[in-house]
Amino acid sequence: MPIFEYACQDCSHSFETLVRSDTVPACPQCHSTHLEKLLSVPAKPAGSDNALPAMPPGCGGCGQASGGGCPMMQ
């Protein structure tokens, strides 16, 4: 079961949850299913002095807010 991060569109609560392929997640605060899946960023290892590289920004040429869905960024 993968862990996904979500932001509730109704109450703005952010949370992460384990999701099976056959379940629809709901906000633990207001129980809404009107959710936006967020991009998860791995944490750096404890005791590591090296910072993780930042995600590249979107170019803005196609109206995408980030590079996640842009074929030019893949």
pLDDT, tens only, 19-35: 888 889 999 999 999 99
Name the percent of the chain lying above pLDDT 90.
36
Element (H, E) at 30: none
> Which tokens go with 37?
């899946």
- 64 pLDDT exceeds 80? no
Joined tokens for residue 20: 């099976």
What lies within 8 Å, CB to CB, of 59 at 6+ separation is: 67, 70, 72, 73
In which order are the strands placed within the sheet that holds 3-8? 14-18, 3-8, 35-38
Q: Is CATH 2.20.28 the classification given to domain 1-40?
A: yes
